[in-house]
């Protein structure tokens, strides 16, 4: 049998394992083993302007202001009971991946406290957050409890009783009600806010003690909320009904994925739409609910692509238009990354092409030709200005020093802006040629010259890693960070490699055997911790940038390193919380120096999850369509079908269904492709996992070539089988 590692080496791939790892990585089960210990989960509706967050202890977090730290919430409301001991073990879960009703169970010595947090939006009431508090004895004996609500705030608190209902106001009694309770409560001023206590309550085993706390979000009159206060189980039932009948997919797209893959797809789609909201008349896909509640061009590119994969075509088009509405008079496009994020202009060009490919509608692309050419001219002029600066970028003839991002802040001599500019230009030039649009000759000359300058710079900036392989750092040699006397203070070689990952795939700037690709893969493998590349972003020590793992998983998948791709993707999934969302960056387990960074739920992560799940089934590799590139023994183990319906590609919409044959004898793939540009080649793996060998294709001609099966691209409907 041919050794797969020998094949990889023959293709020029470096397969340096991480220290202490097996030669090829193990695929760990998805069990949230690296989940952060501090998290927050959104319970709001899709496109909801009220982005309510529930913390890992069941507390409600309100009022985050952009520009503040990730933990800045002026008002935090937590729930507990009086007693000598504090809260013990806390377990939290979603009602289901598609139903963001957060259930938190708190262990106390003699009782179990259950918190159920959910959003409601009755037409008669408006938008309200709700928390149902229940308490029951650990044994069959009756216990007494005094429920406590802790409101952490710097503002004053006013508590009123009205008809047996407690009404709480911030600042003054004339302010809108911020909290209602169906039981009397009294307030006590404490060091960091106020403690609201109920009277002594009996908590039998059945039915348990229960009460409801309601938090109006629209400043509505309390009288509108009394019916829900008295019939809160109806409110909960209405919320369940909404989410169980809602789905993150829109026609004509549908998916079927078994197990946790399906759960993550559902939750990721929900996360993305919960963060979205209408701004200036357009639906805007936002990265998150707090520090990244806004539009970022690079994050937005991948979120918009995921939106197409979920069937949200009209909304994705609105998102694209929102990006291009940021274009300034001189042609540059800037968003949350700032004005030194030169790459945003090129990424917006890349998005324009990708959205046209997926929609098979080039009318907006053609309409925006003047704006596209203005963007090119901006980059040309920017590069000319850079030639005059005293920097390596200027001397090499690249874009000027800029913000690298992903661990590189400020103006630095770096490659990320030039790399993404090359990827954006290449996509634009290829698309214009395919559409037979003239006027892009300046873009072609600019790309050719910039690519030549980049190639020369690579020769001088490539380094030898202490582990013995060559790699291209994103930070150039002249940066003083490399020369710091204290090694701990120096930039890590892997910092900001995110842009190189993207320009390998989906940017397709390099061939598979290119030394830049080999070095990047070797570096990412070498720095793997907790199954994903570590110290690649803003945390320089003992931290992981969670969704960066998905970037790298895509590179592995494109490069044919299926086991590495799966291992990195499962590592990425295992850094999510059990409520199916991610923080941007977090410490590795055991760290005493790292901290948490970024928004949560972070929806570039949600988008990357959806993208990888699609690409493991159908991967567009330039003009080649690669099917089942990520499918192996772990995906087949459950013996359940995988299916895509109406999934958009640059070749038109594709549908596929992979299902087991009866008796475990093999697998059958049914494929169809709608009208669109014909791929140059359609590929299948000759082996599905180690046990199933390609047997036949019906409806198309096929030829086996080494470990691939090449299907006639002209065939739009066919089936294939693998047998044990």
pTM of the model: 0.95
pLDDT single digits (tens) 574-622 = 999 999 999 999 999 999 999 999 999 999 999 999 999 999 999 999 9
In the predicted model, is pLDDT for residue 20 greater than 70? no
In the predicted model, is pLDDT for residue 515 greater than 50? yes
- Whether residue 582 sits in one domain with residue 512: yes
- Whether residue 209 sits in one domain with residue 65: yes
| DSSP class per residue in 104-161 | EEEE-SSEEEEEEEEEEEETTTEEEEEEEEEEEESSSS-EEE-EEEEEE-SS-EEEEE
Q: Is the peptide bond before 519 cis (omega within 30 degrees of 0)?
A: no
What CATH number has the domain bearing residue 160? 2.70.98
Q: How many domains does the chain have?
A: 3
Among residues 610, 642, 667, the one where a domain terminates is: 610
What CATH number has the domain bearing residue 641? 2.60.420
Find where tokens 């060091």 sit.
191
In the predicted model, is pLDDT for residue 486 greater than 60? yes
Is there a domain that residue 201 lies in?
yes
Section 625-644 average pLDDT: 97
- Whether residue 229 sits in one domain with residue 173: yes
- Whether residue 710 sits in one domain with residue 598: no
482 secondary structure, DSSP code: G
Q: How confident is the model at residue 23 (pLDDT cuts 50, 70, 90)?
A: low
- Whether residue 52 sits in one domain with residue 29: no
Is there a domain that residue 442 lies in?
no
Written as six digits, the tokens of 185 are 């409560």
State the Rg of the chain over Cα: 27
Among residues 610, 645, 661, the one where a domain terminates is: 610
- Whether residue 126 sits in one domain with residue 83: yes
In the predicted model, is pLDDT for residue 654 greater than 50? yes
Is there a domain that residue 261 lies in?
yes
Section 525-531 average pLDDT: 97
In the predicted model, is pLDDT for residue 231 greater than 60? yes
Q: How confident is the model at residue 344 (pLDDT cuts 50, 70, 90)?
A: very high
In the predicted model, is pLDDT for residue 79 greater than 80? yes
Other Cβ atoms closer than 10 A to 712 = 14
Is there a domain that residue 486 lies in?
no
pLDDT single digits (tens) 193-230 = 999 999 998 888 888 889 999 999 999 999 999 999 98
Written as six digits, the tokens of 657 are 């269904």
Among residues 245, 267, 301, the one where a domain terminates is: 245
Residue 561 in contact with residue 13, Cβ under 8 Å?
yes
β-bridge pairing 681-685 and 624-627: parallel
Q: Give the chain's mean pLDDT.
A: 94
Which residue range forms the structural domain that includes residue 635? 624-723
Section 659-685 average pLDDT: 96
- Whether residue 536 sits in one domain with residue 596: yes
- Whether residue 680 sits in one domain with residue 631: yes
Q: Is 710 helix (H, G, I), strand (E, B) or coil?
A: strand
Among residues 207, 102, 44, 79, the alpha carbon closest in space to that of 149 is found at 79
Other Cβ atoms closer than 10 A to 28 = 17
- Whether residue 23 sits in one domain with residue 61: no
- Whether residue 652 sits in one domain with residue 606: no
Q: How confident is the model at residue 24 (pLDDT cuts 50, 70, 90)?
A: confident
- Whether residue 641 sits in one domain with residue 705: yes
Please tell me the predicted confidence (pLDDT) of residue 27.
Answer: 86
In the predicted model, is pLDDT for residue 4 greater than 90? no
Q: How far, CA to CA in Å, does 248 sit from each of 41, 262, 265, 448?
A: 17, 12, 9, 42
Among residues 536, 528, 543, 532, the alpha carbon closest in space to that of 597 is found at 543
In the predicted model, is pLDDT for residue 281 greater than 90? no
Is there a domain that residue 25 lies in?
yes
Is there a domain that residue 119 lies in?
yes
pLDDT single digits (tens) 232-247 = 999 999 999 999 999 9
- Whether residue 222 sits in one domain with residue 73: yes
Please tell me the predicted confidence (pLDDT) of residue 280.
Answer: 86
In the predicted model, is pLDDT for residue 456 greater than 90? yes
Q: How confident is the model at residue 98 (pLDDT cuts 50, 70, 90)?
A: very high
Is there a domain that residue 61 lies in?
yes
Is there a domain that residue 51 lies in?
yes
């Amino acid at each position: 049998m041919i050794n797969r590692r020998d094949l990889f080496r023959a293709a020029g791939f470096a397969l340096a394992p991480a220290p202490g790892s097996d030669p090829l990585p193990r695929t760990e089960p998805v069990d949230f083993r690296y989940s952060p210990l501090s998290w927050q989960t959104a319970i709001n509706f899709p496109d909801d302007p009220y982005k309510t967050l529930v913390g890992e202890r069941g507390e409600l977090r309100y009022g985050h202001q952009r520009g503040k730290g990730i933990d800045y919430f002026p008002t935090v409301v937590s729930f507990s009971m009086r007693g000598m001991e504090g809260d013990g073990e806390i377990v939290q879960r979603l009602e289901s991946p598609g139903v963001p009703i957060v259930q938190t169970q708190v262990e106390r010595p003699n009782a179990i406290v259950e918190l159920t947090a959910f959003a409601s939006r009755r037409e008669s009431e408006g938008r309200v957050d709700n928390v149902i508090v229940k308490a029951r004895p650990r044994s069959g004996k009756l216990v007494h409890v005094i429920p406590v609500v802790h409101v952490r705030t710097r503002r004053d608190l006013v508590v009123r009783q009205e008809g047996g209902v407690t009404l709480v106001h911030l600042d003054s009694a004339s302010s809108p009600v911020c909290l209602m309770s169906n039981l009397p409560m009294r307030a006590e001023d404490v060091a960091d806010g106020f403690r609201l206590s109920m009277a002594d309550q009996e908590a039998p085993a059945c039915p348990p003690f229960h009460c409801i706390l309601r938090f109006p979000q629209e400043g509505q009159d309390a009288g509108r909320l009394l019916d829900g206060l008295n019939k809160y189980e109806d409110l909960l039932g209405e919320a369940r009904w909404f989410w169980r009948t809602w789905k993150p997919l829109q026609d004509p797209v549908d998916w079927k994925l078994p197990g946790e893959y399906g759960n993550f797809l559902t939750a990721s789609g929900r996360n993305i739409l919960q963060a979205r909201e209408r701004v200036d008349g357009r639906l805007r896909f936002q990265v998150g609910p707090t520090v990244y509640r806004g539009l970022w061009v690079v994050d937005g590119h991948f979120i918009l692509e995921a939106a197409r994969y979920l069937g949200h075509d009209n909304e994705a088009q609105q998102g694209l238009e929102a990006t291009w509405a940021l274009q300034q008079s001189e042609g540059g496009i800037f968003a949350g990354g700032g004005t030194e994020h030169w790459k945003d202009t090129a990424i917006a060009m890349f998005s324009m092409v990708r959205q046209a490919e997926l929609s098979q509608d080039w009318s907006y692309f053609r309409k925006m030709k003047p704006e596209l050419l203005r963007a090119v001219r901006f980059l040309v002029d920017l590069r000319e200005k850079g030639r005059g600066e005293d920097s390596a970028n200027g001397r090499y003839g690249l874009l000027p020093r800029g913000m690298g991002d992903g661990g590189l802040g400020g103006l630095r001599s770096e490659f990320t802006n030039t790399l993404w500019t090359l990827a954006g230009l290449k996509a634009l030039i290829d698309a214009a040629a395919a559409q037979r649009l003239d006027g892009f000759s300046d873009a072609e000359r600019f790309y050719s010259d910039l690519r030549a300058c980049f190639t020369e710079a690579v020769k001088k900036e490539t380094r030898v890693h202490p582990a013995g392989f060559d790699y291209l750092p994103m930070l150039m040699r002249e940066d003083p960070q490399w020369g710091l006397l204290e090694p701990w203070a120096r930039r890590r070689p892997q910092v900001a490699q995110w842009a190189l990952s993207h320009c390998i795939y989906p940017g397709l700037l390099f061939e598979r055997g290119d030394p830049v690709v080999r070095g990047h893969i070797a570096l990412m493998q070498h720095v793997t911790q907790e199954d994903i590349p570590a110290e690649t972003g803003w945390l320089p020590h003992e931290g992981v940038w969670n969704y960066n793992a998905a970037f790298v998983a895509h590179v592995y998948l494109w490069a044919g390193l299926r086991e590495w791709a799966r291992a990195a993707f499962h590592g990425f999934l295992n850094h999510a919380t059990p409520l199916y969302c991610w923080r941007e960056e977090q410490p590795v387990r055991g760290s005493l120096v790292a901290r948490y960074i970024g928004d949560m739920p972070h929806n570039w992560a949600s988008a990357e999850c959806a993208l990888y799940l699609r690409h493991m089934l159908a991967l567009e590799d330039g003009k080649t369509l690669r099917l089942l590139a990520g499918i192996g023994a772990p995906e087949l183990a459950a013996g359940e079908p995988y299916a895509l319906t109406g999934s958009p590609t640059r070749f038109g919409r594709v549908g596929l269904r992979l299902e087991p044959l009866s008796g475990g004898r093999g697998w059958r793939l049914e494929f169809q492709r709608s009208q669109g540009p014909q791929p140059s080649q359609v590929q299948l793996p000759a082996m599905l996992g180690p046990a199933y060998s390609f047997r036949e294709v019906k409806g198309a001609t096929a030829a086996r070539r080494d470990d691939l099966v090449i299907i006639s691209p002209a065939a739009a409907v066919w089936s294939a089988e693998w047998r044990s």
